[in-house]
């Protein structure tokens, strides 16, 4: 069986032919990618329980603007190795989620460093030595959303981090010789991550 000529052929999904009166070929439009710099991140940790619907100390938007980098969102499963005589096969085992790391610019007016300190206090508060306890009204676990944006600024996809909590907070380097904003890095652990194509960010249980 001959391979289909995807690039130079006449496939309408990957049109490369330029004819009089036609617009640019599909390769320059329909095959576009998601930009790594078009995104927003939202935090929901204030409300008691799962943290749905609340904002972080009323500073959701400034924190979104302060978040300059997000990485580490992903999941994997462990391997179960099965040996039989000369053969070795594998089966999927227990799943695990990666840690999400968010780097923030330390905005002076918003006092991002103080807000993030209070957020980490929902996991462990060194001022009183207490751990966060959902059952006692202090939401140690909440929800995060990474919103991927289209070039026009409209949402194209939302990644939900469910059951998230702050695992660590680290202040960036203080250095007179640099010419950059001071940053704070925060690591989040989460129970599940859900990817949705709905622009409103709702989690669907059925595939449309």
**What does the block give as tokens for 208?**
């449309």
Question: What pTM was computed for the model?
Answer: 0.78
Identify which has the larger pLDDT, 32 or 122.
122
Give the per-residue SS3 of 40-82: EEEEECCCCCCCCCCCCCCCHHHHHHHEEEEECCCEEEEEEEE
Residue 89: per-residue pLDDT: 96
pLDDT-wise least confident of 118-127, 133-142, 143-152, 181-190: 133-142
Span 144-198, pLDDT tens digits: 889 888 888 888 888 999 999 999 999 999 999 989 999 999 999 999 999 887 7
Residue 94: per-residue pLDDT: 96
Estimate to the nearest angstrom the gap between the alpha carbon of 178 and the chain centroid.
Answer: 29
**What does the block give as tokens for 134?**
């959902």
Domains and CATH numbers, the chain: 36-196 (2.30.110)
Terminal CA-CA length for the chain: 34
How far, in Å, CA of 199 to CA of 85, rounded?
52
Estimate to the nearest angstrom the gap between the alpha carbon of 201 and the chain centroid.
Answer: 13
Q: How many CB atoms lie within 10 A of CB 48?
A: 12
At 100, the pLDDT band (50, 70, 90 cuts) reads very high
Q: What is the rounded average pLDDT of the residues 48-74?
A: 69
Span 4-55, pLDDT tens digits: 566 666 666 666 667 665 667 666 666 678 888 889 998 887 654 333 444 5
């Amino acid at each position: 069986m001959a391979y289909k000529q995807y690039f130079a052929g006449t496939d309408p999904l990957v049109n490369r032919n330029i004819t009089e009166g036609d617009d640019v070929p599909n390769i320059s439009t329909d095959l576009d990618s998601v930009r790594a710099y078009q995104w927003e991140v939202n935090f929901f940790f204030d409300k008691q329980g799962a943290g749905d619907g609340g904002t972080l100390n009323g500073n959701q938007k400034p924190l979104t603007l302060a978040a300059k980098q997000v990485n580490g969102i992903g999941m994997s499963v462990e391997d179960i190795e099965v040996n039989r005589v000369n053969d070795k096969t594998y089966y999927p085992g227990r799943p695990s989620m990666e840690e999400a790391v968010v780097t923030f610019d330390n905005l002076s007016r918003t006092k991002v460093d103080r807000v993030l300190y209070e957020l980490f206090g929902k996991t462990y508060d060194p001022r009183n030595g207490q751990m966060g306890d959902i059952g006692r009204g202090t939401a140690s676990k909440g929800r995060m959303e990474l919103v991927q944006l289209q070039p026009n600024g409209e949402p194209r996809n939302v990644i939900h981090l469910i059951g998230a909590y702050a695992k660590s907070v680290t202040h960036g380097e203080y250095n007179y010789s640099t010419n950059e904003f001071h940053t704070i890095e925060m690591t989040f652990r989460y129970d599940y991550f859900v990817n949705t194509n709905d622009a409103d960010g709702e989690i669907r249980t059925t595939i449309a």
